[in-house]
Structure 1
Amino acid sequence: MSKGKRDRTVKAREIIAQQQAAERRRKVTLWTSVAVVLVLFVAGLAGYTVMSRQDDGKLVTPAAAVDEGTAFALGSGPVTVDVYEDFMCPACGNFEQSSGGKLQDLAEAGTITLRIHPVSILDRFSNGTAYSTRSAGAAAAAAEAGKFLELHNVLYDNQPAENSDGLSNDKIVELAASVGLTSDTFVNAVKEGTYETWATDVTEKFSDRGYTSTPTIVVNGTTLTGPGDTVPTTELLTQTIEKAAG
């Protein structure tokens, strides 16, 4: 092979190699661009999904709520008694039967300010119906209608057992009607879950405050328990309130 022919062959190979390298670079650039577009698309889709969920689960804090929007107050006495409860909680039901009436009487008499905090820590015990969250949300809707205590009491009078489906929204509406709570605004709030995100939010605040179980009773900022970390008796509760009142 002559020198000139060898040079042309070498040159041709160089040109082919350059073209192949350019093609590889083009493919890498193309697939990189595709990957970037896909990443942006997925990120955008995720952002849209999050925003959609936020829109669907908008936090609506009831105007009637006190204590950073976590409770509903009864009375205006000098001693503040905070009661954190879950409507599915059997111990809360027992506490209401034994001490609830006494606390409500003290609030009405002007001895205490009773602040009831509905929380939802027991959703897992209602067979997937999220009864704790739904009932807490219904209580918030009742508070907006000026009938928090009425619904609170009738829900405990008809408390479902743990590991049941809880009360349906229709049953909650029916019980509410029995205590004079019949407005369309209330009914729609229960059925549409208007305050369910609020129920989740106040439960998170409950946890942030260091509380882990219900009922939790706090008198003038100090958690009150009975012997062996039990729920305080009515007698102990009354004595503590009297001492706090001076």
Structure 2
Amino acid sequence: MTTHARRASVPRHIPAGASTSGDGIVVGAGPVTIDVFVDFLCPFCRRFEETAGPTLHAMVNGGLATVVYHPMAFLDELSADAYSSRASASSGCASDGGAFVEYAEALFANQPPEGGPGLTDDELAEIGRLVGLDGPAFGRCVHAHAYLDWAAYVTAMAMERGVSGTPTVLVEDVPVPANLRTITAAVAAAAR
């Protein structure tokens, strides 16, 4: 059996709020599922979050959709310190604290440039504090890299699903262009 055919092994620790398969963080409980694959170092993902994020959150808050975020560690080679993996892992810590969406938005707002060092673990922990994750558990989780194996699992599972770049969006498991108009139309069609 080739390594490509081998299934990613489920990590021992999966964040609170994870999907049944453990490879994403579930936000909302609407009837239409939107899978969003992002990397916190990806500038296109930041742009996607800035433009589509408010509408996705409105769909969740309006009970129209469930959004499953898959924070990938796709761009580790574009940082000096495996930033994509560390940021993905820290988002798992934020999910444990009930603030995944707020933390993800803050990570994009504070996104370091590709090609250099990413944010330090102290900076990742501070971003959490700024979004309300001010207890000691979040900082310990970030500094311990508690979800690094989960970040690798999310990435491997995404690649098994055919995700080859970020951002990637699926509506009811059907790939759609990562733009607001197409996503909105696909959600409306799936809701009929």
- TM-score, normalised to structure 1, is 0.72
AA in 1 matched with 2:187: I
Which structure has the highest helix share of the two? Answer: 1
Map Cα deviations across residues 114-159 of structure 1 (whole Å, 9 max, x no partner).
11111101000111x1100000000001101111111111111111
AA aligned to 1:91 is F
Identical aligned residues as a percent = 35
Q: Is the 8 A contact 1:124 1:130 kept in 2?
A: yes
2:73 aligned partner: 120
User: Where in structure 1 do 4 or more consecutive aligned residues deviate above 4 Å?
Assistant: none
- 8 Å CA contact 2:128–2:138 kept in 1: the answer is no
Amino acid at match of 1:136: S
Structure number with greater Rg is 1
**Structure 2 partner of 1:235:** 181
Q: Which runs of 5+ in 1 are unaligned?
A: 1-57, 226-231
Structure 1 segment 20-59 matched on structure 2, within 5 A: 59=12
CA contact under 8 A between 1:59 and 1:195: conserved in structure 2?
no
Question: What is the number of residues matched between the two proteins?
Answer: 182
Give the structure 2 partner of residue 22 of structure 1: none
Higher normalized contact order (CA 8 Å, seq sep 6+, divided by chain length): 2
Quick one: which amino acid aligns to residue 127 of structure 2? L
1:110 aligns with 2:63: yes
Consecutive unaligned residues in structure 2, runs of 5 or more = 1-10
Partner Cα distance (2:171, 2:17) in 1: 21
TM-align CA RMSD: 1.2
SS of residue paired to 2:123: helix
Question: Equivalent residues in 2 for 1:209-220 (5 A)?
Answer: 209-220=161-172
SS of equivalent to 2:67: strand
Q: In the alignment, which residue of structure 1 is the partner of 2:39?
A: 86
What is residue 26 of structure 2 aligned with on the other side?
73
Q: Counterpart of 1:193? A: 145
Q: Is the 8 A contact 2:72 2:84 kept in 1?
A: yes
Deviation (angstroms), 1:87: 0.3
1:74–1:113 Cα contact (<8 Å) kept? yes
Q: Which amino acid aligns with 2:17?
A: A
